[in-house]
Amino acid sequence: MTARHDVQQADVLAICKSCETRQGGLCGALKARQLVELAKASSRHEILAGTELPNDGTYSSLLSGVVKLTRNLSDGRQQIVGFYFAPDFLGRPFEAKRPIKTEALTNVALCSFPRTVIDRMIDETPELGRQLLRHALGELDDARDWMAALGRKTASEKIASFLLMVARNIAASGHPGNSTSFDLPLTRADIADFLGLTIETVSRELSRLRSDGAIRIANKRQISLPSISQLEQRCGD
Protein backbone atom coordinates (compact mmCIF):
# COMPACT_ATOMS: atom_id res chain seq x y z
CA MET A 1 0.00 0.00 0.00
CA THR A 2 1.29 3.49 -0.76
CA ALA A 3 1.97 6.11 1.85
CA ARG A 4 -1.05 7.98 0.61
CA HIS A 5 -3.26 5.09 1.53
CA ASP A 6 -1.60 4.62 4.88
CA VAL A 7 -2.46 8.17 5.80
CA GLN A 8 -6.02 7.75 4.70
CA GLN A 9 -6.41 4.55 6.60
CA ALA A 10 -5.26 6.30 9.73
CA ASP A 11 -7.95 8.88 9.07
CA VAL A 12 -10.56 6.22 8.68
CA LEU A 13 -9.54 4.65 11.94
CA ALA A 14 -9.64 7.99 13.68
CA ILE A 15 -13.04 8.71 12.26
CA CYS A 16 -14.52 5.37 13.10
CA LYS A 17 -13.30 5.81 16.62
CA SER A 18 -15.06 9.14 16.76
CA CYS A 19 -18.35 7.58 15.85
CA GLU A 20 -18.14 5.67 19.07
CA THR A 21 -18.77 8.90 20.92
CA ARG A 22 -22.44 8.76 20.04
CA GLN A 23 -22.72 5.03 20.47
CA GLY A 24 -21.35 1.77 19.19
CA GLY A 25 -18.64 2.60 16.69
CA LEU A 26 -18.51 2.23 12.93
CA CYS A 27 -15.13 0.56 12.95
CA GLY A 28 -16.22 -2.21 15.24
CA ALA A 29 -18.68 -3.28 12.58
CA LEU A 30 -16.07 -3.58 9.83
CA LYS A 31 -13.37 -6.08 9.02
CA ALA A 32 -9.77 -4.96 8.54
CA ARG A 33 -10.04 -5.65 4.81
CA GLN A 34 -13.06 -3.37 4.56
CA LEU A 35 -11.30 -0.60 6.44
CA VAL A 36 -8.51 -0.67 3.89
CA GLU A 37 -11.05 -0.61 1.07
CA LEU A 38 -12.81 2.31 2.72
CA ALA A 39 -9.52 4.14 3.05
CA LYS A 40 -8.83 3.72 -0.66
CA ALA A 41 -12.27 5.03 -1.64
CA SER A 42 -12.28 7.92 0.81
CA SER A 43 -11.10 11.46 0.25
CA ARG A 44 -9.86 13.94 2.80
CA HIS A 45 -10.94 17.58 2.79
CA GLU A 46 -9.82 20.67 4.65
CA ILE A 47 -12.55 23.26 4.87
CA LEU A 48 -12.15 26.84 6.04
CA ALA A 49 -14.27 28.32 8.80
CA GLY A 50 -17.42 29.88 7.41
CA THR A 51 -17.53 27.73 4.28
CA GLU A 52 -20.56 25.70 3.33
CA LEU A 53 -20.01 21.95 3.04
CA PRO A 54 -21.08 20.40 -0.25
CA ASN A 55 -24.25 18.31 -0.06
CA ASP A 56 -22.91 15.70 -2.43
CA GLY A 57 -24.60 12.61 -1.07
CA THR A 58 -21.51 11.28 0.67
CA TYR A 59 -21.06 10.10 4.24
CA SER A 60 -18.35 11.97 6.13
CA SER A 61 -16.32 11.52 9.24
CA LEU A 62 -15.54 14.77 10.97
CA LEU A 63 -11.84 14.58 11.96
CA SER A 64 -11.50 17.98 13.56
CA GLY A 65 -13.49 21.16 13.96
CA VAL A 66 -17.12 22.04 14.48
CA VAL A 67 -19.95 22.00 11.94
CA LYS A 68 -23.40 23.54 12.20
CA LEU A 69 -26.66 22.71 10.43
CA THR A 70 -28.98 25.65 9.76
CA ARG A 71 -32.53 25.89 8.57
CA ASN A 72 -33.72 29.20 7.17
CA LEU A 73 -37.17 30.72 6.93
CA SER A 74 -38.02 32.66 3.81
CA ASP A 75 -37.52 36.09 5.39
CA GLY A 76 -34.03 35.32 6.68
CA ARG A 77 -34.82 34.14 10.19
CA GLN A 78 -32.42 31.36 11.04
CA GLN A 79 -32.47 28.35 13.31
CA ILE A 80 -29.46 26.16 13.98
CA VAL A 81 -30.81 22.61 14.12
CA GLY A 82 -27.68 20.70 14.92
CA PHE A 83 -23.99 20.77 15.74
CA TYR A 84 -21.29 18.23 15.03
CA PHE A 85 -18.18 18.30 17.18
CA ALA A 86 -15.24 16.21 15.98
CA PRO A 87 -15.03 13.31 16.18
CA ASP A 88 -18.49 12.60 14.79
CA PHE A 89 -20.13 11.24 11.70
CA LEU A 90 -22.23 13.16 9.18
CA GLY A 91 -24.51 10.58 7.65
CA ARG A 92 -27.28 12.27 5.74
CA PRO A 93 -26.55 11.02 2.24
CA PHE A 94 -30.15 10.73 1.09
CA GLU A 95 -31.24 13.83 -0.70
CA ALA A 96 -32.49 16.46 1.73
CA LYS A 97 -35.63 18.08 0.40
CA ARG A 98 -35.54 20.64 3.18
CA PRO A 99 -33.72 23.94 3.04
CA ILE A 100 -30.96 22.86 5.39
CA LYS A 101 -27.42 24.24 5.09
CA THR A 102 -24.26 22.59 6.45
CA GLU A 103 -21.46 24.98 7.39
CA ALA A 104 -18.03 24.82 9.00
CA LEU A 105 -17.88 26.91 12.17
CA THR A 106 -14.15 26.44 12.61
CA ASN A 107 -11.59 25.11 10.19
CA VAL A 108 -12.63 21.55 9.58
CA ALA A 109 -10.97 18.35 8.42
CA LEU A 110 -13.16 15.58 7.19
CA CYS A 111 -12.95 12.33 5.37
CA SER A 112 -15.79 11.45 3.03
CA PHE A 113 -16.95 8.11 1.71
CA PRO A 114 -19.01 7.65 -1.45
CA ARG A 115 -22.47 6.45 -0.72
CA THR A 116 -22.05 3.51 -3.09
CA VAL A 117 -19.16 2.12 -1.06
CA ILE A 118 -21.00 2.35 2.23
CA ASP A 119 -24.08 0.82 0.66
CA ARG A 120 -22.10 -2.14 -0.58
CA MET A 121 -20.48 -2.60 2.81
CA ILE A 122 -23.89 -2.66 4.45
CA ASP A 123 -24.70 -5.62 2.23
CA GLU A 124 -21.51 -7.39 3.30
CA THR A 125 -21.81 -6.37 6.93
CA PRO A 126 -25.38 -5.63 8.02
CA GLU A 127 -24.08 -4.61 11.43
CA LEU A 128 -22.86 -1.44 9.71
CA GLY A 129 -26.45 -0.62 8.78
CA ARG A 130 -27.57 -1.17 12.36
CA GLN A 131 -24.72 1.04 13.50
CA LEU A 132 -25.76 3.87 11.21
CA LEU A 133 -29.34 3.45 12.39
CA ARG A 134 -28.23 3.67 16.01
CA HIS A 135 -26.29 6.83 15.19
CA ALA A 136 -29.29 8.42 13.49
CA LEU A 137 -31.52 7.54 16.44
CA GLY A 138 -28.99 9.20 18.74
CA GLU A 139 -29.19 12.36 16.65
CA LEU A 140 -32.97 12.12 16.84
CA ASP A 141 -32.81 11.99 20.65
CA ASP A 142 -30.62 15.08 20.66
CA ALA A 143 -32.99 16.90 18.32
CA ARG A 144 -35.92 16.07 20.60
CA ASP A 145 -34.05 17.33 23.65
CA TRP A 146 -33.59 20.63 21.90
CA MET A 147 -37.21 20.76 20.81
CA ALA A 148 -38.14 20.65 24.49
CA ALA A 149 -35.62 23.38 25.25
CA LEU A 150 -36.82 25.60 22.40
CA GLY A 151 -40.48 25.16 23.21
CA ARG A 152 -40.53 25.22 26.97
CA LYS A 153 -37.37 26.57 28.57
CA THR A 154 -36.72 30.16 29.64
CA ALA A 155 -33.81 32.12 28.20
CA SER A 156 -31.57 31.45 31.17
CA GLU A 157 -32.41 27.73 31.20
CA LYS A 158 -31.58 27.58 27.50
CA ILE A 159 -28.19 29.16 28.08
CA ALA A 160 -27.38 26.83 30.98
CA SER A 161 -28.42 23.76 28.97
CA PHE A 162 -26.40 24.96 26.00
CA LEU A 163 -23.22 25.41 28.04
CA LEU A 164 -23.62 21.94 29.52
CA MET A 165 -24.14 20.42 26.07
CA VAL A 166 -21.02 22.10 24.72
CA ALA A 167 -19.01 21.03 27.74
CA ARG A 168 -20.12 17.42 27.25
CA ASN A 169 -19.25 17.51 23.56
CA ILE A 170 -15.88 19.09 24.16
CA ALA A 171 -15.24 16.49 26.84
CA ALA A 172 -16.22 13.68 24.48
CA SER A 173 -13.89 15.04 21.82
CA GLY A 174 -10.99 14.57 24.22
CA HIS A 175 -9.61 18.08 23.77
CA PRO A 176 -6.64 19.30 25.75
CA GLY A 177 -7.52 20.59 29.19
CA ASN A 178 -10.52 19.54 31.19
CA SER A 179 -14.00 19.85 29.81
CA THR A 180 -14.96 22.57 32.29
CA SER A 181 -12.80 25.15 30.56
CA PHE A 182 -13.01 25.52 26.83
CA ASP A 183 -12.87 27.83 23.88
CA LEU A 184 -16.42 28.39 22.65
CA PRO A 185 -16.28 27.96 18.89
CA LEU A 186 -19.46 29.98 18.35
CA THR A 187 -20.29 33.67 18.11
CA ARG A 188 -23.12 35.15 20.17
CA ALA A 189 -25.15 35.17 16.95
CA ASP A 190 -24.69 31.42 16.53
CA ILE A 191 -25.72 30.77 20.12
CA ALA A 192 -28.78 32.96 19.60
CA ASP A 193 -29.72 31.12 16.41
CA PHE A 194 -29.38 27.83 18.19
CA LEU A 195 -31.47 28.80 21.20
CA GLY A 196 -34.15 30.81 19.43
CA LEU A 197 -33.06 34.02 21.16
CA THR A 198 -31.46 37.33 20.16
CA ILE A 199 -27.78 38.14 20.63
CA GLU A 200 -28.68 40.76 23.24
CA THR A 201 -30.49 38.22 25.38
CA VAL A 202 -27.63 35.74 25.04
CA SER A 203 -25.16 38.40 26.11
CA ARG A 204 -27.28 39.49 29.05
CA GLU A 205 -27.82 35.95 30.31
CA LEU A 206 -24.14 35.11 30.03
CA SER A 207 -23.34 38.27 31.99
CA ARG A 208 -25.86 37.29 34.61
CA LEU A 209 -24.41 33.80 34.97
CA ARG A 210 -20.97 35.36 35.30
CA SER A 211 -21.99 37.82 38.00
CA ASP A 212 -23.75 34.96 39.82
CA GLY A 213 -20.47 33.07 39.77
CA ALA A 214 -21.85 30.15 37.79
CA ILE A 215 -19.38 30.66 34.92
CA ARG A 216 -16.23 32.60 34.18
CA ILE A 217 -15.61 34.38 30.86
CA ALA A 218 -12.22 35.50 29.58
CA ASN A 219 -11.83 37.14 26.19
CA LYS A 220 -15.49 36.61 25.16
CA ARG A 221 -14.92 33.07 23.92
CA GLN A 222 -12.94 31.42 26.69
CA ILE A 223 -15.47 29.94 29.09
CA SER A 224 -14.96 27.99 32.25
CA LEU A 225 -17.57 26.28 34.35
CA PRO A 226 -16.44 26.22 37.98
CA SER A 227 -19.64 24.55 39.10
CA ILE A 228 -21.31 22.05 36.79
CA SER A 229 -23.91 21.27 39.44
CA GLN A 230 -24.92 24.90 39.72
CA LEU A 231 -25.50 24.96 35.97
CA GLU A 232 -27.46 21.73 36.13
CA GLN A 233 -29.77 23.28 38.68
CA ARG A 234 -30.40 26.12 36.27
CA CYS A 235 -31.11 24.07 33.18
CA GLY A 236 -34.72 23.20 33.95
CA ASP A 237 -34.64 19.45 33.58
Partner DNA sequence: GCAAAACCTTGATCTCGATCAAGGCGGCGC
Partner DNA sequence: GCGCCGCCTTGATCGAGATCAAGGTTTTGC
CB 67 within 8 A of CB 104: yes
| Amino acid (one-letter) located at 157 | E
Residues near its own copies (CB under 8 A) are 23, 69, 71-75, 77-79, 81-82, 92, 94, 96-100, 119, 122-123, 126, 129-130, 132-134, 136-137, 139-141, 143-148, 150-153, 193, 195-196, 236-237
> Distance from first CA to last CA of the chain, Å, rounded?
52
For 196, phi and psi rounded to 5 degrees?
70, 35
Binding mask 145-174 for DNA (x = CB under 7 A): ---------xxx------------------
Residue 199 binding result from its own copies, DNA, none, given CB thresholds of 5 to 8 Å by partner type: DNA
* DSSP string covering 12-56: HHHHHHHHTTTSS-HHHHS-HHHHHHHHHH-EEEEE-TTPBPP--
Residue 134 binding result from DNA, its own copies, none, given CB thresholds of 5 to 8 Å by partner type: its own copies
Toward its own copies, which CB reaches closer, 151 or 176? 151
**How far lies 165's CA from each of 54, 168, 212, 228, in Å?**
26, 5, 20, 11
CB of 77 to DNA, least distance (A): 9
Q: Rule CB under 7 A: which residues touch DNA?
A: 154-156, 187-189, 196-204, 206-207, 217, 219-221
